[in-house]
Structure 1
Amino acid sequence: MYKVKGFTLIELVIVIVLLGILSVIAAPKFIELQRESRISVLNQVQASFKSVATMTNSKAIIQQFEDGTIDVDGNAIQIRGSFPTGHWNNTWRYAMNIGKEIGFTRTNQICTQNDLCGVGNQRNAPSLPIATTSRGLVLIWLEGMKLSDLCYSYYYNDELGEFPEVGMVTDGC
């Protein structure tokens, strides 16, 4: 006589139910890890904004220079009020040196070309927590997202000589 080996229907149903329970428990934790990862990247971008602004300001003070262009790592960076301007192509494209160039992306587009996308000379952004009076706003957001997803870092130089506003919006991360 042959013995039939295999799973019964009840055993298969129990395994499927257990996998369902595990996925319900694991999915929120996985989603939270993605959110934390995105926020971590934005924290690094924010820190880079602050570092570049501080370094450029120090160099401008030493050279007694407030407006124009200043050399940073072989790149001409535009400054106003001794801090980097909010222009993308003439400033942050080169100042944000992360080992590769961050390309300009339109504000309503999904970031697809790079890990990070950026734009400058903006007046406002969705859910921006600061008031802006001129085109000095730089925005950097993550691959696979749009600015309207509310997951970006910002830099704003009002060109009055005060340290620029730097922060991030994480509501949609």
Structure 2
Amino acid sequence: MLGSSAPPRQRLGSRPRRVHGFTLIELICVIVILGALSATALPKFSDFQRDARLAVVARTSAEITGAARMAYYKCLLIAGCYVAFSGTKFVAPSGVNGATYFGWPTGQTRPNDFQGIKDWVTVSGFTVHEVNTAVAEFRLIGSTTPTACLVRYTETATLGTGPQIVTVTTGC
């Protein structure tokens, strides 16, 4: 009959086909593809974190260098400051008395409340360790190995030379 809207007849013994969802093979294929994608993306993500830590250490090294130079130029303007250990008091940006050695900030706090490089620069995310009388280390908090992800400031030992500012990034 033409124009009839009756449903088509089914064959004898067959059931209507039902679609309930994904087959097990389809699900396994999707899981394998997602696993492969995540395996390639995860190392890239961890590299971004290391790159960020390296950038922070490099920026902090530049800030420490700038602060040391600022102290040196300020010292040149003060009479008597350009000696082995300056007894001349001048105020560091942190508001304390700054100590200099041949005009450059010292690595460590000196007697009579003279402060070293840590009071000439303000850095966040670092802990400052005064290793000895001449060396201060700015260690990055949250790095893989804080003792190997740092900026080391070593005060000058002779007249006419500047301090050594070294970055260590093997533990970043």
TM-score, normalised by the number of residues in structure 1: 0.74
Q: Which residue is equivalent to 2:55?
A: 40
TM superposition shift of 1:88: 5.7
Unaligned stretches of 5+ residues in structure 2:
1-15
Q: Which residue is equivalent to 1:116?
A: 126
SS of corresponding position for 2:99: strand
Given candidates 139, 155, 158, the residue that maps to 2:156 is 158
Q: Which residue is equivalent to 2:39?
A: 24
TM-score, normalised by the number of residues in structure 2: 0.74
Superposed, 1:13-92 pairs within 5 Å as: 13-64=28-79, 65-66=81-82, 67-68=86-87, 69-73=89-93, 74-87=95-108, 90-92=115-117
Q: Which residue is equivalent to 2:25?
A: 10
How far apart, CA to CA, are the structure 2 residues paired with 1:165 and 1:44?
16
* CA gap 1:6/1:82 in 2 versus in 1, 3 angstroms: same
Higher relative contact order (CA 8 A, sep 6+): 1
How far apart, CA to CA, are the structure 1 residues paired with 2:73 and 2:64?
14
Structure whose alpha-carbon radius of gyration is higher: 2
TM superposition shift of 1:26: 1.0
CA deviation digits over 1:19-48, x for unaligned, max 9? 211122112211211111111000111001
CA deviation digits over 1:67-95, x for unaligned, max 9? 13421233322211111111169323321
TM superposition shift of 1:172: 2.1
Give the paired residue count: 145
TM superposition shift of 1:144: 2.0
1:136 correspondence with 2:134: yes
When the two chains are superposed, the root-mean-square deviation of aligned CA atoms in Å is 2.2
SS of corresponding position for 2:153: strand
How far apart, CA to CA, are the structure 1 residues paired with 2:109 and 2:20?
67
Q: Is the 8 A contact 2:152 2:167 kept in 1?
A: yes
Unaligned stretches of 5+ residues in structure 1:
103-114, 124-134
Q: Is the 8 A contact 2:71 2:120 kept in 1?
A: no
* CA gap 1:7/1:76 in 2 versus in 1, 3 angstroms: farther
Between the aligned residues of both structures, percent identity stands at: 28
